[in-house]
Amino acid sequence: LEPFRFIVSFVSFIFIWSLWIRWNQLGHSALIRATNEPAISTAHPYLSRDSHACVPLRAVLRFNRARLNSWLFECKFNDSALCEFPSCHSSGLVESVEHLVCFCPRFSAAREFCRQRLLGLRALDPDPGDHSIFLHRVLGSLTSLPPNIHQQLLDFTGSFILDIQRIRPFLR
């Protein structure tokens, strides 16, 4: 039993000693930062590159937590999930993130302006029927795009999101 205690003590000593060496090599704050903070810039680049006004708006849209009728109805805060815009309401269209960003006629002018700017960056296919790529770009997806246009894309789509927020507040 005595040799076993010696081995456990020795292994513990080596482990603590290696932590101490690493602590001194990296610096105290670097080790804490490396273990406790997520890498925001690698997870979702829009978090570190987007304007301060747009980050919370884009985030609630991405996570489907915007105060839209579909979410309010799901949480039992609203009697209907339908869009309040008259033509949408009469057609029975649910006010979802996809509807808000891609289809609602209330935002057609702002949407078309944003779409034309993204086409100029070559960040979209020219096919106007493909709404999924437009939705992903507005929500901050920068995949398969050259890094030199990331900031412009975030600026263009951010101004579109801010236009939507001005017309139909979804974050209070």
The answer to whether the beta carbons of residues 118 and 110 sit under 8 Å apart is: no
Lookup: tokens for 23: 């602590």
DSSP string, 15-35: HHHHHHHHHHHH-HHHHHHHH
Q: Is 94 helix (H, G, I), strand (E, B) or coil?
A: strand
As a whole number, mean pLDDT of residues 17-36 equals 55
Lookup: tokens for 39: 């890498």
Residue 31: its pLDDT value, please? 42
Model confidence at 163: pLDDT above 80: yes
Q: Give counts: helices (H), strands (E), the chain.
A: 11, 0
Residue 94: its pLDDT value, please? 96
* pLDDT tens, residue by residue, 29-87: 444 444 444 444 455 677 778 888 898 899 899 888 899 999 999 999 999 999 999 99
